[in-house]
Amino acid sequence: MAILITGGAGYIGSVTVELLRAGGEHVVILDDLARGHSAAIPADVPFYQGNIGDGELIARIASDHDLESCIHFAALAYVGESVTEPARYFDNNVRQGIVLLDSLLQAGVRRLVFSSTCATYGEPVQIPISETHPQQPTNPYGWSKFFMERIMESYERAYGLKFVALRYFNACGATEDRGEQHDPEPHLIPNVLACAEGRLPAVSVFGNDYSTPDGTPIRDYIHVADLGQAHILALEHLRGGGESDHINLGNGQGYSVLEVIETAREVTARSIDLRFEPRRPGDPSRLVADASKARTVLGWLPAYPDLASIIRSDWKWRSGHPQGYASGE
Ligand SMILES: NC(=O)c1ccc[n+]([C@@H]2O[C@H](COP(=O)([O-])OP(=O)(O)OC[C@H]3O[C@@H](n4cnc5c(N)ncnc54)[C@H](O)[C@@H]3O)[C@@H](O)[C@H]2O)c1
């Protein structure tokens, strides 16, 4: 029996595939490669290049592989792009997401682990943010994930779907073989390290007048391998008959943008210039998880909680892959 991994050629999906395989699981990847890398897919993993909105393709994958569950990473995930292209985000993440759910149910697959996000909470009214914090997204990307959570809840009541929606905070870091490569790159740590490599002249820091100790926004950074491990635990939870749930994945500790840059300078021993720019609309000052539920429900404990080890892992991957996935894996 196999697990369908949608978005398995992407950043978090490909690392999770690596961990699942190390644990002896059989996986099948579905990815349209809009944002993923074929070089991130192991040569001996069945790969279907296509769309989660293609019901016939999903039916074919299910009949080829006897699927028992799905880990659904595939989505468009750039906040700014979602503001200018909401139709594309709701089509890709919600309409196509519904086709995926329907096709899985038709194939008898009732276990789903879903990539949700702290962006479903919107502007925090209390820190740390627990799963009971009000959800009021501030952009179409956050809404697309919010809608999928509500749809999965309805599908559970009506059709018996069992799901765990994992609400990640800021994914970062790398394994030996897989790291983060987006174009354009919206995330802080890859941009900071691109600067250390000399590929970017300076890191843009958006706003230095927030109500934080150094004036720059504070985020909760979580290592991608710890995220991957949480998906495995969520799947085991469902396989063991556990209830559907919504669970935060973060370290419960926040670092400011300036702290990230300073730590990257220490880890890389390179100079990293920065440039202050105006605040970006909708950027909250602090996003820090209350991640205690992941511990109590899933038994999840991050193995790489400190920022320096997260950045070191990414730097090591970049140093070994100077052209990223074009480096010839
Ligand atoms: N990176 C983060 O910090 C973060 C934080 C919170 C939530 N998430 C969520 O985690 C998931 C994975 O994020 P990531 O950073 O690995 O993104 P990514 O862009 O690297 O990976 C997503 C993958 O999905 C594929 N994809 C997108 N739409 C598809 C479609 N309609 N059909 C088939 N394949 C499709 C892309 O080609 C890509 O390979 C996403 O759902 C994202 O919303 C990410």
Q: Is the pLDDT of residue 292 over 80?
A: yes
The alpha carbon of 54 and the centre of ligand 1 are apart by a number of angstroms equal to 17
Task: Provide the pLDDT for residue 323.
Answer: 86
Q: Which of 234, 236, 252 is nearest to 114 (CA)?
A: 234
Going from the Cα of 209 to the center of ligand 1, the distance in angstroms, rounded, reads 31
Q: Enumerate residues lining ligand 1, CB below 6 A.
A: 6-7, 9-13, 31-36, 51-53, 73-77, 92, 96, 115, 117, 168, 170-171
Contact status, residue 223 vs residue 189, Cβ threshold 8 Å: no
CA 270 – ligand 1 centroid, Å? 30
pLDDT interval class at 148 (50, 70, 90): very high
pLDDT of residue 159: 98
Q: Indicate if the pLDDT at residue 327 is higher than 80.
A: no
Residue 322 has pLDDT above 90, yes or no: no
pTM: 0.97
Cα(178) to centroid(ligand 1), Å: 15
Average pLDDT, whole number, for the chain? 96
How far apart are alpha carbons 171 and 160 in whole angstroms?
30
pLDDT tens-digit map of 239-249: 999 999 999 99
Q: Which one, of 140, 161, 17, 135, lies nearest residue 85 by Cα? A: 140
pLDDT at 329: 44
Active site annotation includes 304:
no
* pLDDT given at position 281: 79
* Ligand 1, atom 23: closest residue by C-alpha: 7
Q: Which of 141, 221, 255, 304 is catalytic?
A: 141
What number does the ligand 1 atom closest to the CA of 171 have? 3
User: Are 3 and 68 a contacting pair, CB within 8 Å?
Assistant: yes
| Nearest protein CA to atom 7 of ligand 1, as residue | 117
Q: Please say whether the beta carbons of 277 and 233 come within 8 A.
A: no
* Per-residue pLDDT tens digits for 68-115: 999 999 999 999 899 999 999 999 999 999 999 999 999 999 999 999
Percentage of the chain beyond pLDDT 90 is 94
| Atom number of ligand 1 nearest to Cα 170 | 3
